[in-house]
Structure 1
Amino acid sequence: MAKRVKKEAGDMSFMDHLEELRWLLIRSTIAIVIGGLVAYSFSDFIFDEIIFAPKSGDFITYRIFCDIATKYDLDKSFCMDELPFEIQSRTLDGQFSTDLWTAVTAGFILAFPFILWEFWKFIRPALYDNERKYAIAFLFSTSILFFLGVLFGYYLITPLSLNFLGNYRISSIVKNDIDLQSYISVIKTTAISCGLVFELPIVMYFLSKLGLVTAATMRNFRRYAYVIMLVIAAVVTPPDVVSQLIVTIPLVILYEMSILIASRMNRTPKTS
């Protein structure tokens, strides 16, 4: 049997690229399933100590905001024993399906560095020789940014959102009994979304490399970007400046990092 020889990017046909992409997806899916099985075996800890932790008033974020509010005489909505709503499962398979899909989400988070490695191998043939040596730096920085984003979403955006939405009232007649899947969805969506948002500098690197984004464009859009960040912070935080700044500052840092990366890419000559 003839030994399969890996082709370079220039020698690969469209079908060859599709075949590589297919195996990338297969290996990534297997990694997510393995990570999900590991997470499923620790489901009690994941639900009791992680997912349902932000519902308690003793959650670390609430305690920090309560201490800040007490010290500076600000809004004390975070000084509480528990969020004013109950979590319920309204379907027969609700708890099972929630357990299953939460394990899949955790599996994706755990497998993220491996998925990145597979992505890097897929795009590596299209890179210049002087860019291929940055594989470890790419994997490390991208993984760190993703995990920082997940932590940022879980420890900051999630409790702020739960506190805002859980205390929001259109009438005292309406009682908040939150569906389990709705509660889980807020946490999963927030954590994953923030993890992906924190990849902004990496995305800007590739977009700048392709010539689709320039530092000048991002600088011109900066004032609008800051307004959007402030609006987001104002929605998910109490009506005080300190809370809004805590949410806004990391987003501003990410945006400025993206401008620096784009600026460097725009003036870096392409060499083979």
Structure 2
Amino acid sequence: MTDTPKPESDDELAGTEQPFVAHLVELRDRLIKAIVAIGVVAGVLAVFPGPGALYDLLAAPLIAHLPAGATMIATSVISPFMVPLKILLMAAFLIALPVVLYQVWAFVAPGLYSHEKKLVLPLVVSSTVLFFMGVAFCYFFVFGKVFTFIQSFAPKSITAAPDIEAYLSFVLTMFLAFGLAFEVPIAVVVLARLGMVTVAQLKAFRGYFIVLAFVIAAIVTPPDVVSQLALAIPMCLLYEVGIWAAQLFIKHTKAPDEDAEAAKP
């Protein structure tokens, strides 16, 4: 009798391959679930508190710093309808984002090795949390400081009446800028884990990153020192967090073959 040949190496994913059509079907199902989640949240928000109330909530930091009696205006005929609708959809997407990211994770997880799952899942969760932290920091802290600073320069002869579409564009730009700025630790961890840079190189690049952070802040924020400092300083602090986190990730998410190579004399 002949012995059955053994595979040269064990593969965690052996036998888990699926036909291409099956992947497309699963992708479609995951997309449908994500869209349904966003739709359900949008439906709930449309009933309570409603699109108008959502816009009032978004505009509250600006309204609080306008002169007494001043209001916002709509220069387009359909702005009073379209702007609250856009905010409704944006809020629905952000609230349903954990469900959307879970569907993405559920789709890609079967094709990942165990050490890759240890890397990807924490990054997905932490990047989501950091993005929300950036948006919250912008809304609750930065807006108040920026609007106070701007109004202090407004001439007494001018009555401020901001346009609602212009304000929405400003808010989305600021939310995106601060949300992405708070992703600095994730970018640092990914670059270090992929071997594109070393932790020592990241530490050596620290001084250049500080300059880069202030340049980015000057470009993406309004031309006032308050918002620029509010963006640049957290970026610098988060860069340090990223260096620290990169060392932990590299240590705890190594592939088995990497550990074996490291153990060789």
TM-score scaled by length of structure 1: 0.68
Tell me if 1:104 matches 2:112: no
Q: Identity rate of aligned residues, in percent?
A: 29
What is the match of residue 226 of structure 1? 210
- Mapped partners of 2:35, 2:14: distance in 1: 25
Quick check: 146-155 or 202-211, which moved more? 202-211
What is the match of residue 261 of structure 2? none
Shift of the 264–15 alpha-carbon distance from structure 1 to 2, 3 Å rule, reads farther
Shift of the 17–88 alpha-carbon distance from structure 1 to 2, 3 Å rule, reads same
Quick check: 34-43 or 146-155, which moved more? 34-43
User: Does the Cα contact within 8 Å between 2:67 and 2:160 map onto a contact in 1?
Assistant: no
Deviation at 1:197, TM superposition (A): 3.2
Tell me if 1:26 matches 2:32: yes
User: Does the Cα contact within 8 Å between 1:86 and 1:177 map onto a contact in 2?
Assistant: yes
Tell me if 1:120 matches 2:128: no
Shift of the 37–216 alpha-carbon distance from structure 1 to 2, 3 Å rule, reads farther
Aligned length in residues = 240
Deviation track 1:196-225 (CA, whole Å, cap 9, x = no partner) reads 432333344444443345434433432232
- Mapped partners of 2:15, 2:72: distance in 1: 52
- Mapped partners of 1:215, 1:135: distance in 2: 19
Shift of the 34–167 alpha-carbon distance from structure 1 to 2, 3 Å rule, reads farther
Q: Which runs of 5+ in 1 are unaligned?
A: 1-6, 58-79
CA root-mean-square deviation: 3.9
Tell me if 1:201 matches 2:185: yes
Q: Which runs of 5+ in 2 are unaligned?
A: 1-12, 258-265
- Mapped partners of 1:187, 1:88: distance in 2: 16
Corresponding letter in the other structure for 1:251? M
Deviation at 1:38, TM superposition (A): 2.3
1:112-261 counterparts in 2 under 5 A?
112-130=97-115, 132=117, 140-163=125-148, 177-231=161-215, 232=217, 236=222, 239=225, 247-261=231-245
Quick check: 210-219 or 99-108, which moved more? 210-219
TM-score scaled by length of structure 2: 0.69
